[in-house]
Amino acid sequence: MRRPLDVALPDVPDVDGLRVVPWAPELDDAVRVAHNEVFADHWGSEPRTPEQWARSKAMFAPTWSFVALDDAGEVVGYAVSGRYEEDWPAAGYPSGYTELLGVRRAWRGRRVAVALLTAVMRAYA
């Protein structure tokens, strides 16, 4: 799925009890744990160890990745982005990819993913 970024982007929706912050190294393991929980009931998904998590981020773009935290600072959602700069010359434009997007079950249906994706699109732009 593609979305042009040279047109107006939506506002990041306000979600009560939630703040979207840039990815930071100190949040990385909490995001991994959240990811394991989010995908625990998805067929074929296996929990990732810290080592597997680190290896899966070969093209990780931290400045284009965001984390949703609740008022207690718990990770409730995340958007992990990648950038494949070697593709840019052939494509004729720079691009980013949302590699992983997840929201913990208790927060689903509250526009957390919309808030994360909007923050990601603004960073891509």
86, part of any domain: yes
**Number of domains, the chain:** 1
* CB distance 20 to 119 below 8 Å: yes
CATH number of the structural domain spanning residue 82: 3.40.630.30
pTM: 0.91
**Percent of the chain scored above 70 by pLDDT?**
100
DSSP state of 24: -
The residue-averaged pLDDT of 92-108 equals: 93
Residue 12 lies in a domain: no
Residue 112 covered by a domain: yes
- The residue range of the domain holding 72 is 18-124
Confirm whether 4 is domain-assigned.
Answer: no
Domain contains 88: yes
3, 39, 91 from 44: Cα distances, Å: 28, 9, 32
**6 located within any domain:** no
Domain membership flag for residue 2: no
Residue 78 has pLDDT above 80, yes or no: yes
Cβ–Cβ < 8 Å for 81, 102: no
